[in-house]
Structure 1
Amino acid sequence: MTTADTTSANPTAPPPPSPADLTYGGQYSVNPLGEVSFRKLCSRLPSVLWHVARTAWHIDRRAVLLLLGCQVITGVSAAVLLTGTAHAMQAILGTGAVSHRLRDALPALLVVAGAAALARVSSALSTYADRRLTPPVTTHADTALVEAVCRVDAAALAGEGFSDRHEAAEMGVVRSHVMINDAQRFMSALVRMVTASGVLSVLNPLMLPLLVLAVLPAGLGAVMSARVDYEVHYANISDRNSRSMMRWWATTSKYADEVRANGMTSYLLFWYRSLSERIDNRTLAAAPRTLRIALGTSLLGGVFLTATWAGLAWLAVTGRVNLAIAATALVAVQTTLAALSQVVINGAALFHTSLYLTDMQTFLDDAADKAPHRGDTAVAAPVEEIRLDEVVYRYPGKEAPAVDHVSLTLRRGEILAIVGENGSGKSTLTRLITGIYLADKGRVLWNGNDLAAVDPESVWSCTGLVPQIFAQWPLRVRENVTLGQPRTFDDTPVWEAIDAVGLREAVESLRYGLDTLLAREVWGGSEFSGGQWQRAACARALYRRPPLLILDEPTSQMDPRGEHDIFEEIKAIAADRITIVVTHCLENTKVADRIIVMDHGRVIEQGTHEDLACGAGLFAELLALSKDR
């Protein structure tokens, strides 16, 4: 039953709410080309060509040289073809017997045939070079975008407009697939136009301005239409971004049970259809503008083209050029007109592509600025002490700090438990301790080194984290354990980590053991249960043997046996590292040497489990509530 059927069956029910109209302010809320002049837009082409050439040169120099050589050959062939045509026409339209005229024209005709064959070979080689360059150029752009997002400071991911700018940059990756082809066709047409124009200028210089006027309106219309298309694209970025995310959440098999059992299908389809219609409506609303542009520029171009042919006819009829020159001029006009048209069409296509490439490059530059550049000092194991000194952190757009003036000292060999109600700042505190976030105020010191001046990679090489929301990587079991760490061909350490979390039986039951792909959606793949996935996440952290081990609700999906195994392992390995356990299950805090209780970003209590349980604070209250069931 569709949403419409549901509404008609129950007329008193309100209609489902439409998707929110997503808008945001700030520097990314305004179309960057909205106030840019037409002249400035056209001036972008040289920089775009330079960017294309530099990228292609970096990837495959031989293919670039072949492509450039083909353009030179194309231009020379066009000039030779027109010159040979002129000589052949003079011979054919001259005086004397037909056989003599054909014999006199034969050398020129052979040259024309050779030039045409050379041009075709050059075109085939250009296509070959384009096919060599396009896939790696697209891969380069795609990889650069993924790397930029992966390396950006974690706090920037939640920044204003970041996700939407990422969506806009994705279109740049898509357009990079045609970037080389657009540039190659534009340069080829430009070379042909220059050579043909040169020949035409020798025949009669009056023809060239008329030809330029004949194709200029088409170029103007193409650029104006490209600008309209980009405006529509820019207006739809947020909606496309939301639709893309919702499409994944609604169709992935991981959430199929929730979608079906909770009756979400009809509304999700309604939501997706409504958002798609809103995107389409913006596109359709722009159609009359592009139609007016196309009709106006076509009419103007037609007038100038008629004048061009009329001028050529007038020159021939009045005898201002002889018949042979007029015939050659006819071929030159056709060649120049075709080349000019291709320059305009491919120049506009290149301009269109440049709009999206600019979005992508702007995003990459912005992401590079947001990547953590904190210092060259390196932290190395062992980590004897981590100290927080009056640390404050507030999320962008929030008034109250998530962590508010927290001072804390953690020492090697200690197990620290962090507890508190939802939203109290527990997970944020662990992000500050690991340097994922930098404090707005105060300092976080590792062995006396301020994280604000420490190479973050050295910090993270000393960290093992089991987050509350962990990834279920579509990799083999082995890679799910060793991910992010160097490994040898010896699987002993892998099995040790698996044994530590009680996952051996589950792994051995899989068809290919450690080589089993954990992705049920892929042919030959398998799947873990929720609790088994959580054990795999814990095994991944333990495999690292980190100086700092952080477990954020590490057993929330496990059965009692699995939970017991994990906490026994935590106690067994605690002496060599600093261990932090974030949990809502207060019974599990008995494993800790010290407990801190957080509320609204502050540490309001700390002590042992026995001390806090016997007190009159929040810990004792939460413990009593957990037992009153």
Structure 2
Amino acid sequence: MTADAVVPAQGGRAAAPPPPPPADFTFQGHFGKNPLGGVSFRALCARLPSVLGGTARMAWRTDRAAVALLLACQVLTGLASGVQLTATARAMRPLVGTAPVADRLHAALPALVVVAAAAAAVRAASALAAYADGRITPKLTTQADVALVEAVCRVEAGAWSEDGFSDRHEAAEVGVVRTQMMVQDARTFTAALIRMAAAAGVLTVLKPLLLPLLLLAVLPAGLGAVLTARVDYATHYANVGDRNVRGMMRWWSTEPRYGDEVRANGMTGYLVYWYTALSERIDRRTLATAPRKLRIDFVTSLLGGFFLVCTWATLGWLAVTGRVELALVATAVVAVQTVLAALSQVVVSAAALFHSSLYLADMRSFLDLAAARAPVRGILTVDGPVEEIRLEDVVFRYPGKTGPAVDGLSLTLRRGEIVAIVGENGSGKSTLSRLITGIYLADAGRVTWNGVDLAAADPGSVWPRCGLVPQIFAQWPLRARENVTLGQPRTHDDAPVWEAVEAVGMRDTLDGLPLGLDTLLARELWGGSELSGGQWQRLACSRALYRKPDLLILDEPTSQMDPRGEHRIFEGLKAIAGDRITLVVTHQLENTRVADRIIVMDGGRITEQGTFAELVAGDGLFAELLALSKDR
């Protein structure tokens, strides 16, 4: 699809300009430099033992019995391969002799039986090794995936505003995918290495000269594979930013809840064009590496082929000149083929292992970063009930921003009080709520709960005392019950759930669902049901009420509700306000009548505060905004 096809000219009017192409999305900041860009080939190869060791340690922690079985199978495969070659050499002597065929077969039969038994042992060991791999890999992949999800969920909220954090998360996702291949690559590599060692031992006994020639025949392929992996990784690194944004855009474009906006606003054509354009840009970077990889493959294959010809020529020369007897020549052919196949497998597996290790390194690096950015604030605990929350000269600035979102703010909140926070967009209202809950930590000043500084408090003693209804709330694809309890039930029965649901006027709605509280709230799922926007917002309020928190924060809690639902929410707030500190962030200034005190923010500072009546009479920003809201 071309850009011109998206917005055609209509009637006699001039054609509209074509849709804009995607912006440039690059791996930003000091993370934007490919860590392998200046690393030598020798240093790259030196990574392999640590990669193998790291894989073994991860697998050992996952399933020790399976790892032990896998190692035993690898050793058995090597021993059986050595026995197979040795028995082949014994069988060849009578088989190439001058005795009658029956006598030769009879003489070679014991050795041939050993060959067959060894081959059977190799196959059995391979099957058992695959079984062990099948036990380890799913667990290992799940562990990596869960570790990444947990790290992202636990990281400080402010980390997402830091330069390059999101792109590093995207790179780590690729590491999770590559985890599936690591054990198989390691298994193939070690098995081939053991087989190669066994076959090389036999070949060395037969004719030592052949082994270095075989090594020279295979090593160029290893060099080419590692260099190609390096090129692939550089391309992957260049595409991280684009892939990150493309993944987000794919989700937004295909998510059913945004389908009305996409269709009614005629965005389908542009979204398809945008997605195609970005995908083609990623493809161009990938395809641009093809000539370079072709040159690498061509040169290394030429070198490998040359030394392989030398190997076979040497073997032929040894046979023709009588330096090796005919029986040993036949065995040497088998040994050469075995060593060559094992060497090739070692090289291919080592390159694959190395390749995967690059992405696993990204994953481990991100996990380390996330661990460093997880909330580790102190060991102090906040005991309930929370009687007072104080903010003292608090300053907070988002990473990369020049000015503070909250600047020198001081405020005291007391139990039993409803406080409304109002102000124009960007005045710092939502940032203030995050500072009060400890989601963000102040850059200067301090926030205390009952005198305990949140910077020195264990978040595990703070957040269970919070109930937050954010402006953008989640519509979890869970059962209705879990959408209220958030997976943290207080009792074994549903009485508290129905109490919270009743308080927001959702009893009849949930009662009417096909399975009541057991109904999945996602129409995309089989048997699932959907709620309207206002019903979802009521349910989000019920979550906070169910928690019975010491601090209740509602950020635009009724923006999608009808007047009846809005009235019920605020009446419910007044009924329960005596047991907690209640904070309401709103643009609906008439709703602030319910508040004991109103805080007006502008530019990250408190410019006014007082009751509704006092602020209306004060002729300040509140009175101005209230007048504007009525002038319609």
- Asked if 1 retains the 8 angstrom alpha-carbon contact of 2:27 and 2:240, the reply is no
| Offset of residue 616 of structure 1 | 1.4
Describe the SS at the equivalent of 1:437. Answer: coil
| Offset of residue 131 of structure 1 | 1.1
Structure-1 residue corresponding to 2:503? 500
The 2-side partners of 1:24 and 1:339 are apart by: 39
**Aligned with 2:243 (options 200, 218, 240):** 240
Describe the SS at the equivalent of 1:298. Answer: helix
| Offset of residue 378 of structure 1 | 1.4
| Offset of residue 93 of structure 1 | 2.3
Q: Output aligned runs, 1:198-213, within 5 Å.
A: 198-213=201-216
Given the alignment of the two structures, is residue 470 of structure 1 paired with residue 473 of structure 2, yes or no? yes
Structure-2 residue corresponding to 1:5? 5
Structure-1 residue corresponding to 2:281? 278
Q: Can you list the C-alpha shifts for 1:9-60, whole angstroms capped at 9, x where unaligned?
A: 3553111110001235422111111111111111111111111111111111
Structure-2 residue corresponding to 1:254? 257
Q: Can you list the C-alpha shifts for 1:161-198, whole angstroms capped at 9, x where unaligned?
A: 11111111111111111111111000000000111111
Describe the SS at the equivalent of 1:597. Answer: strand
| Offset of residue 485 of structure 1 | 2.1
Given the alignment of the two structures, is residue 457 of structure 1 paired with residue 463 of structure 2, yes or no? no
The 1-side partners of 2:184 and 2:371 are apart by: 28
The 1-side partners of 2:500 and 2:257 are apart by: 26
**Aligned with 1:371 (options 371, 374, 385):** 374
Structure-1 residue corresponding to 2:447? 444
**Aligned with 1:117 (options 90, 108, 120):** 120
Structure 1 length normalisation: TM-score?
0.99
The 2-side partners of 1:422 and 1:533 are apart by: 24
Given the alignment of the two structures, is residue 194 of structure 1 paired with residue 217 of structure 2, yes or no? no
Q: Output aligned runs, 1:558-597, within 5 Å.
A: 558-597=561-600
Given the alignment of the two structures, is residue 360 of structure 1 paired with residue 363 of structure 2, yes or no? yes
| Offset of residue 484 of structure 1 | 4.5
- Asked if 1 retains the 8 angstrom alpha-carbon contact of 2:26 and 2:242, the reply is no
Structure-2 residue corresponding to 1:553? 556
| Offset of residue 134 of structure 1 | 1.3
Structure 2 length normalisation: TM-score?
0.98
Identity of aligned residues (%): 70
- Asked if 2 retains the 8 angstrom alpha-carbon contact of 1:179 and 1:353, the reply is yes
Structure-2 residue corresponding to 1:267? 270
Structure-2 residue corresponding to 1:15? 18
**Aligned with 2:546 (options 543, 546, 551):** 543
Structure-2 residue corresponding to 1:403? 406
| Offset of residue 61 of structure 1 | 1.1
**Aligned with 2:153 (options 150, 153, 156):** 150
AA in 2 matched with 1:343: V
Describe the SS at the equivalent of 1:461. Answer: helix
Describe the SS at the equivalent of 1:469. Answer: coil
- Asked if 2 retains the 8 angstrom alpha-carbon contact of 1:390 and 1:441, the reply is yes
Q: Can you list the C-alpha shifts for 1:49-98, whole angstroms capped at 9, x where unaligned?
A: 11111111111111111110100000000100011011111222235333
- The alignment covers a number of residue pairs equal to 629
Deviates more, 1:157-166 or 1:302-311: 157-166
Describe the SS at the equivalent of 1:418. Answer: strand
Q: 1:50 to 1:532 in 2, by over 3 A?
A: same
- Asked if 2 retains the 8 angstrom alpha-carbon contact of 1:380 and 1:462, the reply is no
AA in 1 matched with 2:598: I
The 2-side partners of 1:140 and 1:365 are apart by: 15
The 2-side partners of 1:2 and 1:226 are apart by: 34
AA in 2 matched with 1:502: G
Q: 1:25 to 1:241 in 2, by over 3 A?
A: closer
Structure-1 residue corresponding to 2:394? 391
Describe the SS at the equivalent of 1:392. Answer: strand
| Offset of residue 2 of structure 1 | 7.9
- Asked if 1 retains the 8 angstrom alpha-carbon contact of 2:420 and 2:598, the reply is yes
| Offset of residue 329 of structure 1 | 0.9
Given the alignment of the two structures, is residue 615 of structure 1 paired with residue 599 of structure 2, yes or no? no
The 1-side partners of 2:541 and 2:175 are apart by: 38
- Could you tell me which runs of 5 or more consecutive residues in structure 1 were left unpaired when the two chains were aligned: none
AA in 2 matched with 1:323: L
Describe the SS at the equivalent of 1:271. Answer: helix
- Could you tell me which runs of 5 or more consecutive residues in structure 2 were left unpaired when the two chains were aligned: none
The 2-side partners of 1:295 and 1:274 are apart by: 32
Structure-2 residue corresponding to 1:225? 228
Given the alignment of the two structures, is residue 77 of structure 1 paired with residue 74 of structure 2, yes or no? no
AA in 1 matched with 2:314: G
| Offset of residue 8 of structure 1 | 4.1
The 2-side partners of 1:120 and 1:133 are apart by: 20
| Offset of residue 573 of structure 1 | 0.6
